[in-house]
Amino acid sequence: MSIKKGAALQKEAYDKQGMIAAIREQFRISWHGIHGANHWARVLHHGITIGTERSADLLVIELFAFLHDSQRHSDGGDYYHGRRGAEYARSLNTIYFELSAPRIDALCEAIEHHSGGKVHDQATVQTCWDADRLDLGRVSITPSPKFLSQEAVKHIDAAYRWSREHRNRDNYRELEL
């Protein structure tokens, strides 16, 4: 297995650049589109911010940011992209990262159901969903507090402004994507 140090805040080793290269190679929609790398960078930012506040699993959150929309076939309605994304995440486990069964299950739960409008009582899964929902400003939608954790609610206004201001910029370069 080819694993090198990644940027996960928990200091766990994973091959971030290799994983991103693999995602990009098979990515079917625009890398710079509304579900592409710019969006992932903002999801990562929100996830790490909220996940730190909630003591959530920051590696799972980081992996979610890169993988949750990686299996979209279109930027429009794509009902099964979450399921495909969860299957893809499982296929990458032990190749680019190594998550225990409970952690890969949490990651896959977050990916599979991130578009379903649910809330979750597990901090890591909900933080993944919070991070994605806080970037709805990129499509002119203000996130609803009823679908966010208490920690995420306080970030709605700033996240909305940031999404609108940076939706077309190459933010991913700052995060080494």
pLDDT at 1 over 70: no
Specify the DSSP element, H or E, that contains 125.
Answer: helix 123-133
One-letter amino acid for residue 117 of the chain: G
159 lies in a domain?
Answer: yes
Residue 24 maps to which CATH number? 1.10.3210.10
pLDDT at 27 over 90: yes
pLDDT recorded at residue 174: 43
Domain range for 41 is 16-171
Structural domain tally of the chain? 1
Q: Quote the CA–CA distance of 40 and 21 in Å, as a whole number.
A: 14
pLDDT in tens, 99-111: 999 999 999 999 9
81 lies in a domain?
Answer: yes
10 lies in a domain?
Answer: no
165 lies in a domain?
Answer: yes
**Predicted confidence band of residue 165 (pLDDT cuts 50, 70, 90):** confident
Q: Quote the CA–CA distance of 20 and 23 in Å, as a whole number.
A: 5
Residue 63 near residue 85 (C-beta atoms within 8 A)? no
pTM for this prediction: 0.88
